[in-house]
Amino acid sequence: MNTSFFNYSRILKLSGAALMAAGILSLHHSPVMAFGHDKLKESLEQLTQPPPQQAPATQPAQATPTPAPAPSQRPAPKRSITNIAGNVYQFKNNFHNSVLMVTPDGIIFVDPINNDASTWLKAEVKRRFNQTVKYVVYSHDHADHISGGEVFADTAIFVAHERAKRDIIDEKRATPVPDITFTDKLTLELGGKVVNLNYVGRNHSDNSIVISFPAERVLHAVDFIPVKSVAFRDLPDSFIDEWVDSLKTVEAMDFDILSPGHGGLGTKSDVRAFRGYFEEMRSAVTEMARAGKSADEVVAAVTMDKYKSWGGYGSFIKANVRAMYERVQANRRGN
């Protein structure tokens, strides 16, 4: 366990009430941050200094590291920062997308992805915008999206849903534990720009949030609204019926551009299309389950041909259907 994790773990021990008393939190019921970034960051740092007697005197001895492959043996990562609208940019790191908003007072960045990706991004935004990252927002707790946040620990405050914090701690994610959490909604303001964070219910995880940029009419949603793509694998960590509800909630929100955690940009029609996919699959699977068909029979029959052109169909359609069958069976009682 290294020093930086130790520092962050101290934050966990601070109750919301303690932070409130320190003048830091006014978040659960207030949609707007009451304090500027710098004061907030400073206060958090004061509160999270490790007590001297607990601070390790020296770094623990390192085990002999496994030699990393030579750079020439690793495929070069594909990375880019491209404008979506206004001051909102998409960061692509191979198959993962993040989003960032650049303001005169710094950057709000969603999902660090991993240490290498964030190290690259940190240098690139300094070069392109002469800015640093002031807030890191986690879209949900899954490691492939939120690892590497420690790269920004010198300048950023970390924000996530309350239950993401729990999973980040319990699963020992390789990223800082959130400094600030919320349950329903939170608005971040920086440099005259606004980012709205909204919890829309359980779906691909129980802590996924949507990140919206109202001025740019961009909504960023990770993993629970694939754009022209089937869902990931066997729907791990997911909640089927509530997932459909959360898609309806997003459809009722005001935005034009859908920015997903993988693949290309979409629109609101892609949310409806994915809900259609999910509802059609659920209904076909439920009908066969009621007719007494086995999991294998359902997987063989429910081929969802209408969606053959979607990303991930070849790899994941059978796993999607089998997972749907298991969830349907777990939540029904036959005659």
Rg (CA), the chain: 21
Min dist CB 24 to Zn ion, Å, is 29
Residues contacting 217, CB < 8 A, separation 6+: 85, 254, 255, 256, 257
d(CA 331, CA 209): 25
* Position of minimal CB gap to Zn ion: 142
For residues 204 and 282, which CB has a smaller minimum distance to Zn ion in the complex? 204
Min dist CB 224 to Zn ion, Å, is 8
Query: What is the number of alpha carbons within 13 Å of residue 105 lying toward its C-beta?
Result: 13
For residues 116 and 144, which CB has a smaller minimum distance to Zn ion in the complex? 144
Say which DSSP state 113 is in.
B
The three state secondary structure string of 207-242 is CCEEEEECCCCEEEECCCCCCCECCCCCCCCCCHHH
The residue among 211, 230, 193, 223 whose CA lies nearest residue 99 is 211
Contact string (CB under 5 A) for Zn ion, positions 213-252, x = contact: ----------x-----------------------------
For residues 150 and 223, which CB has a smaller minimum distance to Zn ion in the complex? 223
Min dist CB 143 to Zn ion, Å, is 9
Does residue 24 contact residue 35 with C-beta atoms inside 8 Å? Answer: yes
Min dist CB 158 to Zn ion, Å, is 18
Does 268 contact Zn ion by CB under 5 A?
A: no
Q: Say how many C-beta atoms besides its own lie within 10 A of residue 305's C-beta.
A: 9
Looking at residues 273 to 332 of the shown chain, list those that interact with Zn ion (rule: CB under 5 A): none
For residues 99 and 298, which CB has a smaller minimum distance to Zn ion in the complex? 99
Min dist CB 99 to Zn ion, Å, is 15
For residues 231 and 324, which CB has a smaller minimum distance to Zn ion in the complex? 231
Looking at residues 133 to 152 of the shown chain, list those that interact with Zn ion (rule: CB under 5 A): 142
State the number of binding residues for Zn ion (CB under 5 A).
Answer: 2
Say which DSSP state 306 is in.
G
For residue 211, the one-letter residue type is: I
For residues 41 and 142, which CB has a smaller minimum distance to Zn ion in the complex? 142
Binding site for Zn ion (CB under 5 A): 142, 223
